[in-house]
Amino acid sequence: MTFPATVERWDVHEIELAGPAGGNPFAEVRLSARYRYRNRVVEAEGFYDGDGVYRVRFMPDAVGPWRFTTVSNVSELDGHAGGFEVTPASAGNHGPVRAVGTGFAYADGTPYLPFGTTCYHWTHDMEEDRERETLRTLAASPFNKLRMCVLPTGRMSPPEVPFAGDDPGGLDKTRFNPVFFRHLEARIRDLRDIGVEADVILFHPYDEGLRGVEDMGREVDHAYLRYVVARLAAYRNVWWSVANEYDFNHAKSVADWDDLLRAIVRLDPYEHLRSIHNGTRMYEVASLYDFTKPWVTHQSVQHWDATLTDGWLRTCPKPVVIDEISYEGDAGKRWGNISGPELVDRFWEGMVRGGYVGHGEVVTGGPGRPWVGNGGTLRGESPARIAFLREVMETRRDGVHLRYLGRRRPREVTVELPGGEYEVELIDTWNMTVTPVDGVHRDRVCVGLPGRPYLALRMTLRMTRV
């Protein structure tokens, strides 16, 4: 048995053990470790990593001495004990993100505003140069959350897939492929190291019958879920998206999705964020999952209209993340061919109303494939403007009020002001400028406008000096 003697708070403590390689260790061997801190015990499930190697990963949440004991149905893995010291978190390590009311914060209390993007299959081709390019792009971008899939789609021919056997027709779904998962978790660690949350999509409806992963049956679904959670849950930057466009999968009912979400609650000792993403009729009506259910932490929405955010928050007081609101690009489908100004407009509409909006890009014509599927380089006009919005939102404080005017172009606008004196600024959200409005204002302010769309007003309460 090997394990580190020290680990920082909210980092990964890993126990490595040697055990049986015969039979089917994925299905036949059970392994966990009971971690004790003072009078509290947290149990983390382990997994088989191939070649007779077993691992248990754990994310400690308190500074000080911890001890553990392994538990297994196999004698070689059972009853191993040890201790280690947890040191304070290093700079930039704020712990996992939690839902707090209708917003988010890291475990240490630092506020977190999700500015997400989507690269569904950026890890599946295992092209290291493109993956490194994707990471460099993300590090220089405004995006701090990435939606990404575990399962490939039916049209793909990746070098490795999550299951053992011959892909696609000869897969053994009772056995997993450690090579695939080692690569996936390495990229999740890379995202963690640049401050990006990994919104891990566990199921999707795009198999086209090739691998049979849309209808594996409850037993296999749960075994797959157990393995993925055991491998990934100890990484602090993981979120769980049980499915992308769950209602396009006709093999599963809402009760099946409820069952899988409840399973994650049982399997994940760290209570990472959990949600599920709708697909049906996003352009006509919001046909959403019932997010009031206790096993979801936030609302993951696909809909084109960000002005509905207020209603979603009234119906369910959990954070609203419009993970898919249509993508900037020139694809043949309407979900992937809105303009940069339109996407930025939707970001502002959703965020000023108290929600959060996600980005995607399907700009073709350059080298490589579009960002939304494969990562690489961003080509669109919206990311720079989303960075500007992020700066506006992250510097917002009590006493600051925003009014977004959207696509309207009035000659002037009058805003009623709460009590006190206010400084007022005109924000051009597309040209990324902030222009002060002369004077100090009480009760109301009337602002003349330049006849352009995509403007906002920021009213800042002047602090009274004592």
What b/e string do you get for 338-369 counting C-beta neighbours within 10 Å, with b at 16 or more?
bebbbbbbbbbbbbbbebbbbbbbbbeeeeee
Give the Cα separation of 82 and 183 in Å (integer).
29
Decide if 193 contacts 185 (C-beta within 8 A).
no
Respond yes or no on whether the N-terminal peptide bond of residue 205 is cis (omega within 30° of 0): no
Give the Cα separation of 67 and 15 in Å (integer).
12
Q: Mean pLDDT per segment of 10 residues, for the chain of length 466 residues? A: 98 98 98 98 98 98 98 98 98 98 98 98 97 98 98 94 96 98 98 98 95 96 98 98 94 96 98 93 73 98 94 97 96 89 98 98 86 95 98 95 95 94 97 97 96 97 70
Give the Cα separation of 347 and 356 in Å (integer).
7
Q: How many CB atoms lie within 10 A of CB 418?
A: 11
- Calculate the alpha carbon distances from 349 to 112, 334, 356, 402, 407 in Å: 19, 20, 9, 11, 10
Give the Cα separation of 269 and 41 in Å (integer).
11
Can you tell me which residue has the tokens 């789609």?
153
Decide if 400 contacts 355 (C-beta within 8 A).
no
- Dihedral angle computed from the Cα positions of residues 191, 196, 199 and 202, in that order, rounded to the nearest 10 degrees: 0
Is 462 in a helix, a strand, or coil? Answer: coil
Q: Which two tokens stand for residue 359?
A: 């980005």
User: Of 46, 53, 47, 45, nearest to 19 (Cα)?
Assistant: 53
- For residue 466, what pLDDT is reported? 43
Report the sign of the C-alpha dihedral through residues 202, 359, 367, 365, in that order: positive
DSSP letters, 194-243, are TT-EEEEEEE-S--TTSS-GGG--HHHHHHHHHHHHHHHTTSTTEEEEEE
Q: What angle do CA 74, 52, 266 make, to 5 degrees?
A: 55
**Helix H or strand E encompassing 414:** strand 412-416
The whole model's pTM is what? 0.96
- Calculate the alpha carbon distances from 180 to 30, 228, 238 in Å: 21, 11, 17
- For residue 281, what pLDDT is reported? 64
- For residue 291, what pLDDT is reported? 97
- For residue 369, what pLDDT is reported? 86
User: What's at 148, amino acid-wise?
Assistant: M
Burial of residue 101 (CB within 10 Å: 0-12, 13-18, 19+) is: exposed
Instruction: Report phi then psi at 55, rounded to 5.
Output: -135, 150
Could you tell me how far CA 363 lies from the centroid of its own chain?
22
Decide if 275 contacts 241 (C-beta within 8 A).
yes
DSSP letters, 66-94, are EEEEEEESSGGGTT-EEEEEEEPPPTT--
